[in-house]
């Protein structure tokens, strides 16, 4: 019997041209995890293929706003090594954590981060940005003086399932035990914060904030359609960046923003940014 919501099941309900990819997906993910476990040092990694750099030095870090793109996450790795793009759904790759190489990037980045005296840091609520913030700031010399805010405005443009917040993570974020930094969660009112932010509550009518409902949402609106889950335009992402700039203008001291490629590109006008890169901008 085929397990419901498995890749094999998806291969039977997806668009015909995607069936072979779905049939191979579980094997690809298994192989990728094995490779991660076998990699011993940074010298074993093709940094050019992955479009990352372990020597993170940043640009214009004297500015009052420091934009930080999260380190390498699992979907970045799968896309670049196996060419699995955003039109192929996997619950594993929804709101993914950092890859091991991303953890190594954070170790390099934090040496520079620790030299910057932040007063407030806005963090996208997605898992890879939260994890990047925790790793970058857990040993920051002024950590206790910095206010860390989970800020929906700087979340990634919702254009495929990689960018969708995985429902059920809110309770974990609320826990103080084991979290290296404590976030202000006042702007996250429910597991459906992302859909409310974008005004697309129509997608979540009658759904529960759990994995079964989220999988069914993707089956109905994504897999059967055979296309990306485009729920936000570039123009709307740009509007969010302007809203965040207005908030930043009200702050005193140095402000950090830990976010994503498309949001940072909108924020600093079409500048392409690598995973684990840092850019200063004066506002």
Distance separating alpha carbons of residues 56 and 107, to the nearest angstrom = 10
145-184: per-residue pLDDT in tens? 999 999 999 999 999 899 999 999 998 888 877 788 999 9
Position 24 pLDDT exceeds 80: yes
81-109: per-residue pLDDT in tens? 999 888 889 999 999 999 999 999 999 99
Contact 267, 245 (CB under 8 A): yes
Alpha helices in the chain (DSSP H): 7-13, 19-38, 47-50, 74-82, 100-113, 127-137, 170-174, 193-198, 211-218, 234-249, 261-267
Determine the average pLDDT of the residues in 259-273: 89
Residue 42's pLDDT is 83
Distance separating alpha carbons of residues 10 and 133, to the nearest angstrom = 34
The CA–CA distances, whole Å, from 173 to 151, 168, 176, 185 equal 13, 10, 8, 8
- Between 223 and 193, the more confident residue is 193
CA neighbor of 170 nearest in space, from 193, 196, 142: 193
Distance separating alpha carbons of residues 277 and 226, to the nearest angstrom = 33
- Between 75 and 85, the more confident residue is 75
Tokens standing for residue 230: 């485009």
C-alpha torsion sign, points 8, 14, 16, 17: negative
- Assign 22 a pLDDT band (cuts: 50, 70, 90): very high
The average confidence (pLDDT) of the chain is 91
Contact 20, 12 (CB under 8 A): no
Contact 170, 188 (CB under 8 A): yes
CA neighbor of 88 nearest in space, from 231, 228, 232: 228
Residue 176's pLDDT is 73
Distance separating alpha carbons of residues 218 and 73, to the nearest angstrom = 21
Percent of the chain with pLDDT over 70: 97
Contact 162, 94 (CB under 8 A): yes
Find the helix or strand (DSSP H, E) in which 107 lies: helix 100-113
202-240: per-residue pLDDT in tens? 999 999 999 999 999 998 888 887 667 778 999 999 999
- Assign 143 a pLDDT band (cuts: 50, 70, 90): very high
Residue 1's pLDDT is 38
Is the pTM for the entire model greater than 0.75? yes
Rounded CA Rg of the chain? 19
Lowest mean pLDDT among 193-207, 222-236, 251-265: 222-236
């Amino acid at each position: 019997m085929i397990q419901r919501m498995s890749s094999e099941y998806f291969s039977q309900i997806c668009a015909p041209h995607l069936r072979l990819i779905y049939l191979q997906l579980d094997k690809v993910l298994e192989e990728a995890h094995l490779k991660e476990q076998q990699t011993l040092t940074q010298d074993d990694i093709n940094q050019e293929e992955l479009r990352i750099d372990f020597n993170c030095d940043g640009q214009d870090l004297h500015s009052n706003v420091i934009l930080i793109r999260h380190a390498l996450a699992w979907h970045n790795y799968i896309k670049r090594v196996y060419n699995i793009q955003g039109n192929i759904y996997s619950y594993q790759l929804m709101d993914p954590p950092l890859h091991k190489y991303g953890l190594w990037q954070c170790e390099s980045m934090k040496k520079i981060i620790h030299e910057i005296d932040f007063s407030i840091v806005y963090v996208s609520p997605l898992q890879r940005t939260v994890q990047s913030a925790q790793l970058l700031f857990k040993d920051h010399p002024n950590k206790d003086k910095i206010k860390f805010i989970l800020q929906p405005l700087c979340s990634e443009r919702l254009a495929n399932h990689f960018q969708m917040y995985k429902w059920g993570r809110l309770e974990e974020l609320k826990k103080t035990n084991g979290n290296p930094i404590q976030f202000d969660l006042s702007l996250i009112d429910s597991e459906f914060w992302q859909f409310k932010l974008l005004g697309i509550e129509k997608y979540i009518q009658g759904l529960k904030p759990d994995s079964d409902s989220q999988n069914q949402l993707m089956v109905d609106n994504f897999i059967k359609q055979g296309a990306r889950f485009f729920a936000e335009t570039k123009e709307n992402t740009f509007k969010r960046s302007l809203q965040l700039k207005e908030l930043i203008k009200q702050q005193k001291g140095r402000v950090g923003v830990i976010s994503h490629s498309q949001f940072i590109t909108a924020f600093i006008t079409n500048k392409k940014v690598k995973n684990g890169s840092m850019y200063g901008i004066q506002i």
